[in-house]
Amino acid sequence: MNGQQSSAELLKKPLPANVSKIGWGLILFGTVCCVLGFMMDVRLASFVQLMNFLFLTSIGIGALFLVALEYIAGAVWSVPIRRVNEFLASLIPIAALMAVPLFFHLHELYQWVNAGTVSQDVVLKMKEPYLNVNFFTIRFVVVFGMWTLFFYLFTHNSLRQDIDKNRNHTKFNIGLAAAYMPIFAVGLTIVAIDWAMSLEPHWYSTIYGVYYFAGTVLAGVSTATYITVKLHEHGFFPRLRRDHFYSLGTLMFVFVNFWAYIAFSQFLLIWYANLPEETTWFIARWKNGWEYISVLLIVVHFAVPYFMLLSQDSKMDLKRLKFISIWILFAHLLDLYWLVMPSYSVSPVFSWMEIGFPLLSVGLVIVIFVWKMKRQNLIPVGDPKLQRGLEFRL
Amino acid sequence: MQQPLYSITALFDTPDEIIHAAEATSTSGYSVYDVHTPYPVHGMDHAMHLKTSKIGYFAFAFGLLGALSAVSFISWVTLSDYPLVIGGKPFWSWPAFVPVSFELTVLLASVLSTLAMIVLYFKFPNNAHPLHDTHYMKCVSSDKFGLSIQAEDPKFDEKKVREFIASIGGKEITPVFIDPEESTHGQKLFDLKFIGVLVVVALTVSVATYITLNKLLYMQPFNWMMLQNKLKAQQSSVLFKDGIGMRQPVEGTVARGFMPYPFKGKPEEAGKYLMNPLLPTKEVLEQGKSRYLTFCSPCHGNFARGDSRLQGQFPNPPTLHSDKVRNWPDGRIYHVITEGQNAMPSYAPQISSEDRWAIINYLRVLQRAQNVKESDLK
């Protein structure tokens, strides 16, 4: 194989126009749903929008984690498909925009916003130095600002490398990844605690951030897997082998297990110690119909993907990978529903909003991805590890 | 004597060469051949057109076995063999079983599938192989990559194979022969002499290890607490004439609070002559209640109805509201606590004399509360 031909088939190609149309359609539909939702029932719409915001954050931040992980671990196999993750990571600032409507309705979501409640409540009073609207907003801005900054630096270097083929960009990005990891971890914990855990401000779990982390990486990997497989089927990644898809499948399998491990760790410790201030959160999720959602979550988020991805062949089967990645995205949405909605009502409620709002996120993912693909190379042609990545064998 | 041919071997210098050699060998129709490399070479399975290993199914089955045996064993222990209430949780509390079951699943899946691999692929107990002790094996276990096309292959023809290997760039093309003596090593494993030697070696090593670790090399990490200049209970002594370390009380004296009990084996006399020295004041009843709940309630129940958790599992602990016990004088009950009765042991070491009387006062209150007289209701 000669270099000219191989770089020619790596260059950018436009996607079919109807993909973009579908994306815009979903955005339009989702936006109408959001507006209608906020007009009809502000409280319910706020909770669903919170879910939606966390969902989009998960995809973006999970994708950026995978980019950083590739640099820091010196991974070779994922180099040809790194751009998929880089494109998805550009959802981080968009996700921050999704949170803007929530800032107008914080009092619908959180008890600790209400000064009257806080003054009556000893625990909330003690937590006030952390849980107050000003500091909450500052944390939000700083965390999403840092993430966006790192996203910009990673992709900026990666794109410049396409042109000048300079190895130093990779070296610089490795250092950047090392610096990003703690920022990612702390930021993710802050987002998880601020937006989801503080819905029940009396309750706390030290593993909560890790729990959300497991979900975000799953969302990132499964979105990237779906897009990669879909693009491969339409001839965009002609030189990807089943070895690459096997690695993606393995990563999904790993984090399905990791999620179960963390979820169970959180449950086991609280169940064992049986302290009244800690068990409330699980008790709320184990009565009035929530127990069915809890069991469903275990089945959907762990049992089904676990057995579907267990065998070696299933991780290379493109059809199954497509199915399971969509399945896991849905499972992550269910996970967020399970985290957020028990604060809204004591028994589970379903409305059209839970379907309508996430469609906005799905549309955004599609449109942003198409928009990025038009402007940037789908394959990092300047990366020194690209050739080895393309020849990757198990 | 002409030894039978096992295979034609050849050496290659780089992993790339061996991958291409394997690819070429499998595409030109050879099926019984093997490749030897000093470390795993990525893509070899694919180049050799190997099917997916079946070991995965073994691992799954063994993992399932591990999970099931862990769950069933723990269930048996917690439900039937030794039920214990832990943290007020039900006997069968599945979340507590998960970590152990998980560990056993991983353990059995990994250990047993390794064993399965040794038996199925390495043909244990046959540990002889014609390639052992050859120059070829020395090379491929250090820095060369080897290809060995076996004579069993249906397409095998020595001359053609040599030509084929030379055409794909193999060096040091050497035939390997089967040593007929070596091929019988499998049977030698179950030789009586061999097993005898194994047993002797095992015993010698165990005894030598035991003696070395426990006698020769035995060291106390620190001994200033273990070796003190004092006598311990039950030790002999050279200081005293009788050679016994523990001393008897001086003749004609009694230790404080240890009055000898004069009615040993004489319950009726105890009932007749012993009087309760305590009045049923509030303090005494509180004291009696706390002692009763500590020492008596585990068997007799909180309200002396004999309805504790031991009910039905034990010689049934009796109720203390029977006419017999209610009509006993205080001294008679004191005797039972002091001496024990039937399955009940003596509680003299645990409960002081004063506490025993306080318990009896409290017991009288319980009996009265359970057997109300008509005059009480007025």
The DSSP result for B91-112, as a single string, is SS-HHHHHHHHHHHHHHHHHHH
Highest mean pLDDT: which of A328-332, B151-155, B188-192, B257-261?
Answer: A328-332
Over residues B164-177, mean pLDDT = 84
Of the listed ranges B63-67, B91-95, B177-181, the one predicted with least confidence: B177-181
Our CA dihedral for A261, A265, A266, A271, rounded to 10 degrees, sits at: 140
- Distance (Å) from the C-alpha of residue A394 to the closest C-alpha of chain B? 5
- Length of chain A measured in residues: 394
pLDDT given for residue A370 in this prediction? 87
Question: With an 8 Å Cβ cutoff, are B42 and A267 in contact?
Answer: no
Of the listed ranges A369-383, B61-75, B203-217, the one predicted with least confidence: A369-383
pLDDT given for residue B1 in this prediction? 52
pLDDT given for residue A12 in this prediction? 59
| Residue B173: its H or E element | strand B171-177
A75 neighbourhood in chain B, CB within 8 Å: none
Average pLDDT for chain A? 88
A392 neighbourhood in chain B, CB within 8 Å: 42
pLDDT given for residue A2 in this prediction? 38
A311 neighbourhood in chain B, CB within 8 Å: 56
A264 neighbourhood in chain B, CB within 8 Å: 95, 98
Q: Where are the domains of chain A?
A: 8-248+355-390
Question: With an 8 Å Cβ cutoff, are B98 and A313 in contact?
Answer: no
- Distance (Å) from the C-alpha of residue A316 to the closest C-alpha of chain B? 12
Question: With an 8 Å Cβ cutoff, are B96 and A311 in contact?
Answer: no
Q: Does any CB of chain A come closer than 8 Å to the CB of residue B52?
A: yes
- Measured distance CA(A365)–CA(A22) in Å, rounded: 11
Q: Does any CB of chain A come closer than 8 Å to the CB of residue B86?
A: no
pLDDT band at B248 (very low <50, low <70, confident <90, very high): confident
Q: Which residue of B has its CA nearest to A270?
A: B95
Q: How many helices (H) and strands (E) does chain A have?
A: 19, 0
Question: With an 8 Å Cβ cutoff, are B60 and A268 in contact?
Answer: no
Q: Does any CB of chain A come closer than 8 Å to the CB of residue B46?
A: yes
pLDDT given for residue B200 in this prediction? 97
pLDDT given for residue B279 in this prediction? 87
Q: What value of ipTM does the predicted structure carry? A: 0.78
Q: Which residue has the tokens 């549309």?
A: A363
User: Over 70: is that where the pLDDT of A161 sits?
Assistant: yes
Our CA dihedral for B16, B20, B23, B27, rounded to 10 degrees, sits at: 180
Highest mean pLDDT: which of A5-14, A86-95, B111-120, B199-208?
Answer: B199-208
A393 neighbourhood in chain B, CB within 8 Å: 42-43, 46
Q: Exposure pattern of B241-252 as b/e (b: 16+ CB <10 Å)?
A: eeeebeeeeeee
Question: With an 8 Å Cβ cutoff, are B60 and A310 in contact?
Answer: yes
Q: Which residue of B has its CA nearest to A307?
A: B60
What are B135-166's pLDDT values in tens digits?
A: 888 888 988 899 888 888 888 777 888 888 88
Over residues B218-222, mean pLDDT = 77
Kindly report the CA angle at B337 between B333 and B342, in degrees rounded to 5?
95
Q: Does any CB of chain A come closer than 8 Å to the CB of residue B96?
A: yes
Interface size between A and B, measured as CB pairs under 8 A: 28
Of the listed ranges A169-183, A206-220, B132-146, B301-315, the one predicted with least confidence: B301-315
Task: Locate B135 and state its tokens.
Answer: 């120059």
Question: With an 8 Å Cβ cutoff, are B43 and A274 in contact?
Answer: no
Q: Does any CB of chain A come closer than 8 Å to the CB of residue B99?
A: yes
What are A60-117's pLDDT values in tens digits?
A: 999 999 999 999 998 888 888 888 999 999 999 999 998 898 888 888 888 888 888 8
Q: Which of A312, A392, A393 is facing B52, going by the closest CB pair?
A: A312
What are A127-160's pLDDT values in tens digits?
A: 888 888 899 999 999 999 999 999 999 998 888 8
pLDDT given for residue B169 in this prediction? 81
Question: With an 8 Å Cβ cutoff, are B52 and A313 in contact?
Answer: yes
Q: Which residue of B has its CA nearest to A266?
A: B95
- Measured distance CA(B177)–CA(B161) in Å, rounded: 15
What's phi and psi for B260, nearest 5 deg? -65, 145
- Distance (Å) from the C-alpha of residue B33 to the closest C-alpha of chain A? 21
Question: With an 8 Å Cβ cutoff, are B42 and A394 in contact?
Answer: yes
User: Over 90: is that where the pLDDT of A383 sits?
Assistant: no
- Measured distance CA(B5)–CA(B25) in Å, rounded: 19
Highest mean pLDDT: which of A116-130, A233-247, B193-207, B302-316?
Answer: B193-207
For chain B, how long is the longest CA-to-CA vector?
Answer: 120
| Residue B10: its H or E element | strand B5-12
- Distance (Å) from the C-alpha of residue B88 to the closest C-alpha of chain A? 10
Over residues A344-359, mean pLDDT = 85
Question: With an 8 Å Cβ cutoff, are A271 and B95 in contact?
Answer: yes
Question: With an 8 Å Cβ cutoff, are B42 and A392 in contact?
Answer: yes
B56 neighbourhood in chain A, CB within 8 Å: 311-312
Q: Does any CB of chain A come closer than 8 Å to the CB of residue B23?
A: no
Q: Does any CB of chain A come closer than 8 Å to the CB of residue B50?
A: no
- Distance (Å) from the C-alpha of residue A282 to the closest C-alpha of chain B? 14
pLDDT band at B184 (very low <50, low <70, confident <90, very high): low
Task: Locate B275 and state its tokens.
Answer: 């009087």
Question: With an 8 Å Cβ cutoff, are B43 and A272 in contact?
Answer: no
Best of B53, B98, B105 to mutate (most A CBs within 10 Å, chain A): B98
Question: With an 8 Å Cβ cutoff, are B46 and A393 in contact?
Answer: yes
pLDDT band at A124 (very low <50, low <70, confident <90, very high): confident
Question: With an 8 Å Cβ cutoff, are B99 and A312 in contact?
Answer: no
- Measured distance CA(A328)–CA(A267) in Å, rounded: 21
Question: With an 8 Å Cβ cutoff, are B56 and A312 in contact?
Answer: yes
Q: Does any CB of chain A come closer than 8 Å to the CB of residue B60?
A: yes
- Distance (Å) from the C-alpha of residue B99 to the closest C-alpha of chain A? 9
Question: With an 8 Å Cβ cutoff, are B52 and A271 in contact?
Answer: no
Return contacts of A269-278, CB within 8 angstroms, 24+ apart. Answer: A269/A207, A270/A205, A271/B95, A272/B87, A272/B95, A272/B96, A274/B87, A274/B88, A274/B89, A277/A202, A277/A203, A278/A203, A278/A204, A278/A205
Question: With an 8 Å Cβ cutoff, are B87 and A272 in contact?
Answer: yes
What's phi and psi for B38, nearest 5 deg? -70, -20
